[in-house]
Every structure is written in structure tokens, then in C-alpha cells.
Structure 1
């Protein structure tokens, strides 16, 4: 009888551990979903402000066309091409706002200070949102690699989480001058 009780206690403890681990994994997947939604919102905000600036007439025509095409491509990109399109938008922003003179021209235009401030805030938030998402992905991947999770299939049918790898470095001149 005593052996039966010890086996029952051991099975109960294993069951509690597996349930706790499955709950933790579920919370990590929920955190990934929330972080991905936040990242998508920041990317959309950055593209929207860029489009607004590109069509405002504040920039010279060549810069406007470069920013408009990159922002439009980022907003219209399919999920498979999204990281590439967002990286190209980052590169276009750095190309246009690489020189402080271009930032000053925007700041001097009517309403330019507000628009430049919005854009500076948007480009600063994208790397933070991507970092939060990738941290959640890293934690979920680490937990999913554990033998217990694999053997008991605690992840269920949830897809393996993927990190977002893209160029999101903001233009330094814009962040320094307009991001104050």
C-alpha cells in the first residue's frame, strides 16, 4: 500500500510539473503574439508617418519619391517579403536623413517640426518592439528545446516561433535633432 501512495504522489508531482510547463509555454506564445502585434503597429506607424512626410512637399522631389516608394512597399509587402521591405525602408530613411541639412530643412518647414518629431519617435520605437518580440521568441525556443516539452508534446500544434531579423537602425541625424 505504501508503494502505491508513493507512486501516486510521484505521478501527481509529474502531472503538476507538466501542467505548469505547458502553462508557461502557453503564456510565452501569448507574449510572442502580443509582441508581434506591437511590432506590426510600430512598423505601420513608421511607414504611415514616412508616407505623410513624403507627400507633404517638405522634401525635395527625389527624396520624396525614394521615401514614398519604400514606405508604400513596406505597407503592401506580403508576410514573406515584409522583413526585406522594412529593411529597405530603414535604408531609405538613412539615405534621406543621413545628413543633418535634410533634417534641418524639414524642421524649418511649416509643421515640419511636429512631423519630424513623430518620425523620430516612430523610428526609435521599431528596434525596441523588435527586441521585445525576439526576446519572447528566444525564451519560447529555449523552453521548447527541453526534452520534457518535446516528449510530452506540450507545445501542441503551435508553430515554432521565428525571430524577426531586419535592418531597423534609425537615421542618426533625425533621431539626434528631431527626437529631443
Structure 2
């Protein structure tokens, strides 16, 4: 009887350790995906600002100022504030912006969507009670959503 309990206990501990190991790996991959998506989002914002600066000379200084603000968790508001004049200037074109600007807008919308999906997946796993209890997220900062619609 003791042997059976010892085997069951060993199996349970092994399963728990394997779950923790694979969950930590998944969480690491999700954080890498989120960081890559954040870099893509910043590149898309910078590209749109550069194209807007060329096509709309009135906002060139504001576009260059927006490019200088990096996307960092908890500091998205600074970049959003710098992006508002660019978005307002692009909105003046209506439904027919120039082709390079329309392409930059589409790329930005895709990058925004991919980033927020990566954040959603990461937060879904990080906020599970057992993951929080075992602290599998380590010291990594919980990623924040980027609200492009505010631009």
C-alpha cells in the first residue's frame, strides 16, 4: 500500500513540475511575441509619421517629435498625444489619402491588432490564479494594451 502511495505521489509531483515547466515556457514565448509585436507597432507608427511628414509638410515637426518618443509600457500616453496631430491631419484627406499614407495606415492597424492580441494572450495566461500563485511570470511587467483609437 505504501508503495502505491509513493508511486502516486511521485507521479503527481512529476505532473505538477511538468505543468509548471511547460507553462513557464509558454509564458516566455508569449512575452517574446508581445515584445516583437510592440517593436512592430513602433515601427509602423514611425513609418506613418515619416510618410506623413513628407506628404503633409505642416505637421513635419510634430511627426518628427512623435518618432522620438519610444513605445514603453506605462508610457503609451506620451506617444498617443504625439500621434493625435498626425491622425487629425490624415483624417483631413477623408476616404482617399495618398497611396503611401493609406498603406502606412493599413500596416499600422495590422500591427496594432497583432500587438493587442499578443497582450490579450499573455495577460490571459499571466492572470490565471495558479500561474500567479506559483509566480511563473517572474518579474516581467504585465503588458498593457495600446489604444490606437485614441490617436
What band does the TM-score fall into relative to the shorter chain? Answer: 0.7 to 0.9
What's the counterpart of residue 66 of structure 2? Answer: 74
How far is the alpha carbon of 1:77 from its aligned partner? Answer: 3.1
Could you tell me the TM-score, scaled by structure 1's length? Answer: 0.73
What's the counterpart of residue 38 of structure 1? Answer: 40
State the Cα deviation string for residues 123-144 of structure 1 (Å, max 9, x = none).
1111110010001101111111
What's the counterpart of residue 134 of structure 2? Answer: 152
CA–CA separation in structure 2 for the residues paired with 1:29 and 1:16: 20
Aligned residues: 144
Could you tell me the TM-score, scaled by structure 2's length? Answer: 0.86
Label 1:131 to 1:99 Cα distance change in 2 as closer, same or farther (>3 A). closer
How far is the alpha carbon of 1:70 from its aligned partner? Answer: 3.3
CA–CA separation in structure 2 for the residues paired with 1:120 and 1:168: 19
1:155-166 correspondence runs (5 A): 155-166=137-148
State the Cα deviation string for residues 127-169 of structure 1 (Å, max 9, x = none).
1100100011011111111111111100001001101112378
1:98 aligns with 2:94: yes
Asked if the contact 2:42–2:70 (Cα under 8 Å) also holds between the matched residues in 1, the reply is no
How far is the alpha carbon of 1:2 from its aligned partner? Answer: 1.7
Larger Rg: 1
Q: Please, which runs of 5 or more residues in structure 1 have no aligned partner?
A: 55-63, 104-115, 170-180
Q: Please, which runs of 5 or more residues in structure 2 have no aligned partner?
A: none
CA RMSD of aligned residues (A): 1.9
